[in-house]
Amino acid sequence: MDDVLQEAFIKLLESNKHFSNKNEAYNYMRKVVFNTSIDHYRCRRRRNAYSLNPGNPASLSSSAPNPLNLLIE
């Protein structure tokens, strides 16, 4: 989780965006953190799938929980 927050913070600093109000800034930060967490989840999932089955990394279990399904529930 620390890696996700650090990467999101770096992305926020590198973006150098200016916002007209606090709500706009909050929504942008929320979106960056959410997208960064999804990227980390996908990367970890691919890495685990490849280490479990190096011959076929595309065979991922669809029953495994993911951040989007957890948010929907």
pLDDT values of the chain reduced to their tens digit, one per residue, 73 residues: 778 889 998 998 899 888 999 999 999 999 999 999 999 888 888 777 666 665 554 544 555 566 666 666 5
pTM for this predicted structure: 0.59
Structure tokens given for 67: 């951040």
Cα dist. 38→9, 20, 21, 30, 55 in Å? 15, 27, 26, 12, 25
Sign of the torsion formed by the C-alpha atoms of 7, 59, 61 and 31: positive
